[in-house]
Amino acid sequence: MTTLFVRHEVSDYATWRQVYDDFRSVQKANGVTAEAVYQAVDNPNDVTVTHEFATSEAAQAFGQLQELRAAMRAGGVLGAPTVWLTNKA
């Protein structure tokens, strides 16, 4: 199992969350088997999300989706996100 971590700042959490929730069908269609959203304790607009995939290839393909990039723009993501992949040990 591979987990994709993405951390970014958003302009408004409530707006971002609506776009994120509306994107679930795309997540499922592209191999996301589980997901979670976290907010920094001191800044609710500092968001980290995790998406689990069966393989690292699926995670990498998801990260390259044009639909994902468009959703991030629509959700008010500020700047470039920090992205990393992990395998469960």
Whole-structure pTM over 0.85, yes or no?
yes
CA distance 86 to 45: 24
Neighbours of 60 (CB within 10 A): 13
CATH number of the domain within which 18 lies? 3.30.70.100
Full domain range(s) for residue 50 = 2-87
How many structural domains are present in the chain?
Answer: 1
**What would the DSSP string read from start to end of 39-77?**
EETTEEEEEEEEEEESSHHHHHHHHT-HHHHHHHHHTTE
Residues 6+ apart with CB under 8 A from 73: none
For the chain, 89 residues long, give each residue's pLDDT as a single digit of tens.
Answer: 999 999 999 999 999 999 999 999 999 999 999 999 999 999 999 999 999 999 999 999 999 999 999 999 999 999 999 999 999 88
